[in-house]
Amino acid sequence: MVFLKLLLVGLCFFALPQGIQAKEKAKLLGYGLLFTNDFFGDGRDRWRTGSLVSSRVFDSPKMSRTLPRREALNELRLFSQIIAPSDLSRNPDRSHARDETGLTEDIDRDYVGHLSIGLHRHFQAGGLAYNFGVDASLLGPQTGLMGLQQKVHSEIDQPFPSDFVKNTQVSNQFILGTLTEVARPIALSPSTNIRSFVEVQTGVEDLIRIGVDAGFLVICPKHSLQERPFQGSVIAL
């Protein structure tokens, strides 16, 4: 119930004040889908082992003449990820102390299942691109992601979580987080662009990111480039 109440508050935040004065409903402009998995890189499934993020992007309704109009995009973001130790099947009672990777008996991180839903507002002003958002996250066994991974891994003959990994995973939690990003996109040519950014996240992880993205052989987007959670990949809005 708490999760639904906070989601309702977030929806009201995006609807007001423009929702009261809107002359037409917001339109769905498009959607994005990004899937990542560690196994596709070097054949090993560990750490930030896999994630799936899906976005639905809506335009802002036209404003009345009594209110200033700012072109903005509203994004509904669904996100899931699994964080896993380097050896899913490890148990502390094994007779051998090390395996072929040289890791000790102790697991290097706790298992985490993470689901979230977020609402984000994207707009540009003064040559800068802004992203303000709020995300509500569920962690732990309540997400059901460990069971899903176990089923998938059993089908493709890959290791799945041991009893020890299951018992030491992050417990059930509900966390509300925020994201603030300011970026400066610069088009060097019709197909080349760079984008410097500063991003502050709070909630599941508290962090600050500062960096520069470069895009080649890509048509520069009309609105902005958006950072994907944690992976740092970007997509055009």
Provide the β-strand partners of residue 47: 84
pLDDT at position 106 is 63
- Prediction pTM value: 0.74
Asked if 75 and 56 count as a contact pair (C-beta separation under 8 A), the reply is yes
Cα distances (Å, whole numbers) of residue 60 to 19, 43, 115: 9, 43, 27
Higher-confidence residue of 214 and 92: namely: 214
**Which structural domains are found in the chain, ordered by start?**
2-13+28-37+44-59+70-87+106-236 (2.40.128.140)
14-43 confidence digits (pLDDT tens):
444 444 344 456 788 888 888 888 777 666
Pairing verdict, β 72-84 and 128-139: unpaired
54-88 confidence digits (pLDDT tens):
999 988 765 444 434 457 889 999 999 999 888 88
109-135 confidence digits (pLDDT tens):
889 999 999 999 999 899 899 999 999
Q: In residues, how long is the chain?
A: 237
Task: Kindly report the average pLDDT of the chain as a whole number.
Answer: 77
Asked if 47 and 38 count as a contact pair (C-beta separation under 8 A), the reply is yes
Q: Which residues of 116-135 are buried (b: 16+ CB within 10 A; e: fewer)?
A: bbbbbbbbbeeeebbbebbb
